[in-house]
């Protein structure tokens, strides 16, 4: 089969249906999405009798491995936890010789960063069984993945904190619209394309918001330096020494309580304090100072001397450890204004990005802004300000803690401020085991959605990759229940999306050609494997 060259848009799909080149029976124009058509579940199922065999031998395919079940009217079909069945679409589909189709999920760009309990990965690297985070910061397993899809119509989704994510037009988001926010209704599950067409609800107000996530639950880590002490040194420490500049006795007391000795560094520098538990030790052979258990040696071993940054293990530590790190940073470098907004500032852009990641991982909504720093009226270059409005204490220092104003947590996190057309990129979708279908993506921990059925723990795939040009019949679906409770299915329920792609030229031997093994041509019900059988005439 020739390689598909482009995904058909909604207008092209309608035109081909109107011309009779693509046939979908029954046809419902309201089921057309920006680049696909929703298809519904039929009343035909096949249930597997796995107890009848120990294994499937492809050289001698088993017979009667499944039992056909047909539900009547509005009778339900119940799929039990862990069960896998075959279903079929209610629609019969007929394709011309120059169009292929595919049942698929909704997709994000392959390089989209995805946080996991074991560290960062990308959308393209995830596999079934891997863990990601749900919207509540809890680990959830990847229940299904799609193949890499190319030629999809893509958009760059821009959020109010300047985070951007590239998704295809059919990717779904959980959106708190103006209506759902004002009338206290549940959020809506909308595609990128639907959000693009309803971006604003007034000239000055954005319509769509995504919920903020709870703090992500990385496991507790063994850290070389107490996280509060690490944060305090990153904030006010001397880059090349195990020293800190401090005017607040409570900060020194917190460092002492963490088990580190604190002593004045020099009479000439009255606000400088040396941090450490062991004195210097020298190598008797060379006369040089050698590594020991001192704070200075630990900083050097971590690669922090003259290179201030947050080691990756701290950014992926437990909630309590990350909160302590943030408190150390805020006590030294942080500020709270009268409106309750908090800020961290640094002249190091890489530190600003790490501050943003740390703060976002704790369920807050940081925004990074570059500003010109001045001292005595002189331009000192760029300074990066990371601002956020926390709903819980982020200081230990009493004078700053009393200044911080705590408001009610805003569940409606980031607004979607733009949806921009971009060149198509390879994309991929996953389905997660959590019933909500929500998982976190990007370094800002943005909540996104896998598919309309993934939130139920139900995973739907087509039994084949492409629906070949020339095919005619219903489509057989693989349906699996990854939930812990039974799921009721009813005929007529939208179950998947069918997208269409144009070939560069008509297929020379379309499906149904006498020279091909077109086993499933003209099928009208859920059909088990016909591998090794004589092709249907």
- Written as one string, the DSSP assignment of 82-101 is T-EEEEEESSEEE--TTEEE
Average pLDDT over residues 68-93: 87
pLDDT for the residue 536: 45
Confidence category of residue 375, pLDDT binned at 50, 70, 90: low
Radius of gyration of the chain (CA): 29
pLDDT for the residue 409: 67
The CB density around residue 457, as the number of other CB atoms within 10 Å, is 22
Confidence category of residue 517, pLDDT binned at 50, 70, 90: low
Q: Is residue 288 over pLDDT 70?
A: no
Average pLDDT over residues 196-221: 94
Higher pLDDT, 457 or 332: 332
**Cβ contact 521:23 at 8 Å:** no
User: 526: which 2 tokens?
Assistant: 């859920």
- How much is the mean pLDDT over the chain? 84
Element (H, E) at 68: strand 66-70
Q: Is residue 527 over pLDDT 70?
A: no
**Cβ contact 452:172 at 8 Å:** yes
- The contacts of residue 210 (CB under 8 Å, 6+ apart) are 159, 173, 174, 175, 176, 413, 414, 416, 446, 447, 448
The fraction of the chain above a pLDDT of 90, given in percent, is 45
Q: Is residue 355 over pLDDT 90?
A: yes
pLDDT for the residue 309: 95
Q: How far apart are the C-alpha atoms of 430 and 438, rounded to whole Å?
A: 11
Distances (CA, A) of 411 to 271, 415, 417, 425: 42, 12, 17, 32
Q: How far apart are the C-alpha atoms of 329 and 331, rounded to whole Å?
A: 6
Confidence category of residue 454, pLDDT binned at 50, 70, 90: very low
pLDDT digits 0-9 by tens, 185-207? 889 888 899 999 999 999 999 99
Which DSSP category does 206 fall into? B
pLDDT for the residue 260: 92
pLDDT digits 0-9 by tens, 94-103? 999 999 888 7
Q: Which of 112, 136, 218 is nearest to 430 (CA)?
A: 112
Q: What is the pTM of this model?
A: 0.71
**Cβ contact 291:301 at 8 Å:** yes
Q: What residue ranges define each of the domains in the chain, with the CATH number in brackets?
A: 4-105+454-503 (2.70.40.10), 108-212+412-449 (2.170.16.10), 227-401 (3.10.28.10)
pLDDT for the residue 229: 96
Q: Is residue 159 over pLDDT 70?
A: yes
Burial of 490 (0-12, 13-18, 19+ CB in 10 A): middle
Choice among 63-67, 121-125, 199-203 with the minimum mean pLDDT: 63-67
Distances (CA, A) of 527 to 65, 94, 376, 418, 519: 12, 17, 79, 44, 10
Choice among 31-45, 210-224, 315-329, 330-344 with the minimum mean pLDDT: 31-45
Alpha helices for 107-226 (secondary structure H): 178-182, 192-197
Higher pLDDT, 52 or 109: 109
Choice among 87-91, 170-174, 374-378 with the minimum mean pLDDT: 374-378
As a residue count, the chain comes to 537
Confidence category of residue 537, pLDDT binned at 50, 70, 90: very low
Choice among 154-168, 195-209, 498-512 with the minimum mean pLDDT: 498-512
Q: Which of 394, 393, 351 is nearest to 370 (CA)?
A: 351
pLDDT for the residue 222: 95
- The contacts of residue 107 (CB under 8 Å, 6+ apart) are 146, 149, 152, 167, 168, 170, 171, 427, 428, 429
Burial of 534 (0-12, 13-18, 19+ CB in 10 A): exposed
User: 327: which 2 tokens?
Assistant: 């408190």
pLDDT for the residue 53: 55
Interior CA angle at 162 toward 158 and 165, to 5°?
40
pLDDT digits 0-9 by tens, 250-270? 999 999 999 999 988 877 788
Q: Is residue 272 over pLDDT 70?
A: yes
What is the torsion angle, in degrees rounded to the nearest 10, for the CA atoms of residue 352, residue 353, residue 359 and residue 365? 100
pLDDT for the residue 457: 52
Average pLDDT over residues 375-385: 77
Q: Is residue 396 over pLDDT 90?
A: yes
């Amino acid at each position: 089969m020739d390689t598909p060259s482009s995904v058909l848009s909604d207008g092209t799909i309608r035109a081909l249906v109107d011309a009779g080149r693509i046939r979908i029976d029954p046809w419902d124009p309201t089921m057309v999405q920006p680049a696909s058509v929703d298809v519904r579940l039929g009343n035909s199922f096949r249930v597997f009798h796995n107890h009848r065999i120990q294994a499937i031998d492809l050289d001698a395919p088993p017979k009667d491995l499944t039992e056909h079940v047909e539900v009547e009217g509005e009778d339900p079909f119940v799929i039990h936890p862990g069960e896998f069945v075959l279903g079929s679409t209610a629609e019969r589909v007929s394709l011309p010789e120059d169009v292929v189709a595919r049942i698929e999920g909704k997709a994000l760009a392959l390089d989209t960063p995805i946080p996991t309990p074991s560290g960062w990965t990308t959308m393209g690297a995830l596999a079934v069984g891997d863990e990601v985070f749900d919207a509540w910061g809890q680990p959830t397993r990847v229940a299904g993945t799609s193949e890499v899809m190319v030629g999809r119509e893509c958009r760059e989704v821009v959020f109010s904190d300047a985070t951007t994510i590239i998704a295809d037009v059919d990717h779904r988001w959980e959106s708190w619209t103006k209506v759902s926010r004002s009338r206290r209704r549940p959020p809506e599950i909308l595609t990128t394309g639907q959000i693009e067409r309803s971006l604003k609800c007034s000239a000055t107000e954005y319509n769509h918001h995504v919920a903020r996530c709870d703090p992500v639950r990385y496991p507790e880590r063994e850290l070389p330096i107490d996280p509060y002490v690490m944060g305090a040194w990153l904030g006010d420490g001397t880059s090349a020494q195990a020293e800190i500049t401090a005017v607040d006795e409570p900060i020194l007391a917190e460092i002492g309580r963490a088990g580190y000795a604190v002593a004045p560094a020099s009479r000439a520098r009255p606000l400088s304090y040396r941090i450490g538990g062991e004195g210097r030790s020298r190598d008797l052979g060379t006369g040089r100072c050698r590594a020991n258990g001192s704070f200075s040696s630990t900083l050097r071993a971590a690669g922090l001397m003259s290179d201030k940054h947050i080691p990756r293990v701290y950014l992926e530590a437990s909630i309590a450890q990350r909160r302590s790190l943030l408190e150390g940073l805020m006590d030294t470098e942080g500020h709270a204004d009268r409106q309750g907004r908090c800020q961290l500032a640094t002249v190091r852009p890489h530190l600003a990005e790490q501050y943003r990641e740390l703060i976002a991982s704790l369920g807050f909504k940081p925004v990074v802004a570059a500003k010109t720093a001045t001292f005595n009226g002189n331009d000192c270059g760029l300074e990066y300000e990371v601002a956020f409005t926390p709903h819980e204490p982020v200081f230990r220092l009493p004078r700053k803690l009393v200044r911080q104003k705590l408001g009610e947590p805003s569940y409606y996190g980031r607004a979607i401020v733009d949806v921009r057309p971009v060149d198509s990129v390879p994309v991929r979708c996953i389905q997660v085991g959590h019933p909500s279908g929500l998982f976190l993506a990007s370094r800002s921990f943005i909540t996104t959605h896998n598919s309309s059925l993934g939130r139920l723990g139900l995973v739907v795939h087509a039994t084949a990759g492409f629906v070949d040009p020339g095919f005619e019949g219903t489509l057989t679906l693989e349906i699996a229940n990854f939930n812990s409770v039974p799921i009721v299915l009813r005929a007529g329920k939208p179950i998947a999306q069918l997208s269409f792609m144009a070939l560069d030229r008509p297929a020379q031997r379309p499906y149904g050609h006498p020279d091909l093994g077109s086993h499933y041509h003209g099928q009208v019900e859920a059909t088990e494997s016909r591998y090794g059988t004589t092709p249907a005439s």
